Structure 1
Amino acid sequence: MASKRKHSKVWNFFDSVDEKSAKCKYCKTVLSVAGGSQGNLSRHLKNKHPAALEETKRQTNESRQEANTPQIIGPQQQVITSFIQRPPAAGKAEKIDRQLVRMISKGHHALRIVEEPDFKQLIDDVSNCPGYKMPTRKTLSNVLLPKLRDEIVGSVKEKMELASAVCLTTDCWTSLANESYIAVTAHFIESEATVMSSHMIACEAFVEQHSGQNLCAFLQKIAERWSIENKISAVVSDNAANIVNAIKTGNWPHIPCFAHSLNLIVQNGLREISVVQNKTHCGVFQS
């Protein structure tokens, strides 16, 4: 039964735990598949990871197209030139360079894009895949980006499960459009690599009043979302009364941000010597 049901494309997004359960590769949720039913898996993808469901449909359509395409039977002998990577012709390389400059100038991209490892890898992958077709903007935003996001979230959650303690840093700010935002970053030691790992786990608009109670409720919601309620060893923030009160309300140890504290010390010191500053400025302007 297990071998038959795994022919479904939906199993590309789940790992089999045993004959009666499967674990989501994205959020690590364990679901029942008792009796060979895949309904729970499909519903989970539809409700939690709709991008993955779209990917399943796309793979199914591609499989049908391949099935309807005549196949060449028998081994195909490769020519020796397929093992040699020759440099492109001068004219073709120049044409690509001109197109690269057009893309950078028309799209207002930074010149450093040609030095970014991910962009170099993209060009290398595309050059080795002649039949590759660029996805549409809709596919990119509705399928590819959410899919990668879910994969990264699942990977980070898995690492956090193994961490014995997590420290949070948080800050609030207001945009030029007068919209308030709050961000939370988690820091922990990876148990296997024994290295510090930092991941932003929240960056959201905050429409509520910035009271200590509301900020505390937000931090608790984020902690529950990432299943780290009992692992928070400290929360680092600035010295604003509302966020300090929020952290204390949540019964978490608070560590004032060193950079913010140093800035307050400098500002207070400058006020003490404001008379000297004014005289210095006046002397500079007169000269």
Structure 2
Amino acid sequence: MEKRKRSLLWTSFTDMGSGKAKCGLCGQVMSFLGGATSNLRRHLKFKHPGSQLSRQDIPPEINREELIDISALRNSQDSSSSVPPCPDVTPDQAPGVIPMVLRAATNQPRITNYINKPISQQRHKQLDHQLIKMIAKEYHPLSLVEDKEFKNFVYLLNPNYKLPSRKTVSSTLVPQLYLSTKEMVLNTLRSVHSVSITTDAWTSINNDSFLAVTVHFQVGCDLKSYLLDCFELTGKHTSENLAAEIIRIATEWEVVGKISVVVSDNAANIKAAIKKCHWRHIPCFAHTINLIVKAGVQEISALQIKVKQIVEFFKRRPDATAKLRALQKQSGVSELKLKQEVPTRWNSTYDMFQRMIALR
């Protein structure tokens, strides 16, 4: 019984015997010594580049269910050694048409068994964990998992991974990540002998008050820092209330007896609070410099007020800003914007004066 030829090239050629084949498109007789089909393939590529090996060209006796997309086969060859490569079929056989290959044997596993293989529960947990880490560290909204295009992107990466719902993210995965991260930080803090903390209180633009506490310590030659807490202060900012909150945080993270120094700004209430906790206090160096500079610029306060008013005028008037930009362009100079000072940052006052001099 003659061995069935599996290459799709034979849908365009007729085996004449004695190592000869006749092209069904132009009638040319060609040789294929030793069963190699490279000569026939070159003939189709250069003599009939517009030809198509469509599915209708497949002989009717071949089961169409045995056809497999070659692109899926190639993608699986790197991860599955049980699927052999098929060198007889290449993309250049029929330009513009998806090449197809036949299954080598009826008992060989289908390639779809590997592509559609469900992911393990452990792998699913790893993907969920990485997703929540990305949301937390990159400040993405929890609604990201409901975004249509993000779902399509994840599906293309792995069709078998099912994204968690927004409710699962907020009620289960985020709390799990918080607890695991907290336990990791606690274990690290238990292993150190001395730490320092920094604390700062501020009021937001919405007039809400917040307090943050950060711990710093050294492990070998590496400096480690962790934000222990950042929460809204609902009570009065008295030294007693501030001291109670700082002690609460230090107790929760088991560092009460390990604090060697506390760094804060020079506000009287926070300095008194640290003193009540019986910890050594060091004022923030940058904040101290800022106070020195603010005291020094009092001698030019009248000039400072005038420059600040000019900057505020251009900030409020888009038409004035557009005219300033047009004048700079007309003069052939670099387009620069005026800078506004921030009272808590002394270098911003310097930047404001410097930019005003450049644009005067």
* TM-score, scaled to structure 1: 0.53
Which segment drifts farther, 150-159 or 169-178?
169-178
Q: 1:196 to 1:126 in 2, by over 3 A?
A: farther
- Residue from 213, 224, 244 that aligns with 1:184: 213
Deviation at 1:212, TM superposition (A): 0.7
- Residue from 163, 170, 174 that aligns with 2:199: 170
Q: Which residue of 1 aligns with 2:266?
A: 239
Distance 2:153 2:190 in 1: 36
CA RMSD of aligned residues (A): 3.1
Alignment of 1:263 onto 2:290? yes
Alignment of 1:135 onto 2:129? no
Distance 1:278 1:170 in 2: 32
Deviation at 1:242, TM superposition (A): 0.1
Q: 1:83 to 1:228 in 2, by over 3 A?
A: farther
Q: 1:276 to 1:133 in 2, by over 3 A?
A: closer
User: Is there any run of 5+ residues in structure 2 with no aligned partner, and where?
Assistant: 1-72, 80-139, 141-150, 310-355
Deviation at 1:278, TM superposition (A): 6.9
Question: Within 5 A, what are the aligned runs for 1:83-98?
Answer: 83-84=77-78
Which stretches of structure 1, 4 residues or longer, exceed 4 Å deviation after superposition? 122-128, 275-282
SS at match of 2:257: coil
Alignment of 1:219 onto 2:246? yes
Deviation per residue, 1:8-49 (Å, 9 max, x gap): xxxxxxxxxxxxxxxxxxxxxxxxxxxxxxxxxxxxxxxxxx
Q: Which residue of 2 aligns with 1:201?
A: 228
Q: 1:83 to 1:279 in 2, by over 3 A?
A: closer
Q: Which residue of 1 aligns with 2:180?
A: 151
Deviation per residue, 1:198-237 (Å, 9 max, x gap): 1100001111111111101111000100000100011110
Q: 1:213 to 1:280 in 2, by over 3 A?
A: closer
Partner amino acid, structure 1, of 2:202: W
Q: 1:147 to 1:123 in 2, by over 3 A?
A: farther
User: Per chain length, whose mean CA-contact separation is higher, i.e. which structure has more relative contact order (CA < 8 Å, sep 6+)?
Assistant: 1
Distance 1:182 1:171 in 2: 6
SS at match of 2:274: helix
Partner amino acid, structure 1, of 2:158: C
Deviation at 1:279, TM superposition (A): 8.8
Q: Which residue of 1 aligns with 2:86?
A: none
Distance 1:234 1:123 in 2: 51
Distance 2:190 2:259 in 1: 12
SS at match of 2:215: strand
Q: 1:220 to 1:131 in 2, by over 3 A?
A: same
Deviation at 1:130, TM superposition (A): 2.5
Partner amino acid, structure 2, of 1:182: L
Deviation at 1:124, TM superposition (A): 10
Deviation at 1:239, TM superposition (A): 0.1
Distance 1:260 1:220 in 2: 24
Q: Which residue of 2 aligns with 1:230?
A: 257
Partner amino acid, structure 2, of 1:168: I
Number of equivalent positions: 170
Distance 2:77 2:260 in 1: 55
Q: Which residue of 2 aligns with 1:82?
A: 76
Deviation at 1:269, TM superposition (A): 0.3
Question: Within 5 A, what are the aligned runs for 1:50-89?
Answer: 81-84=75-78
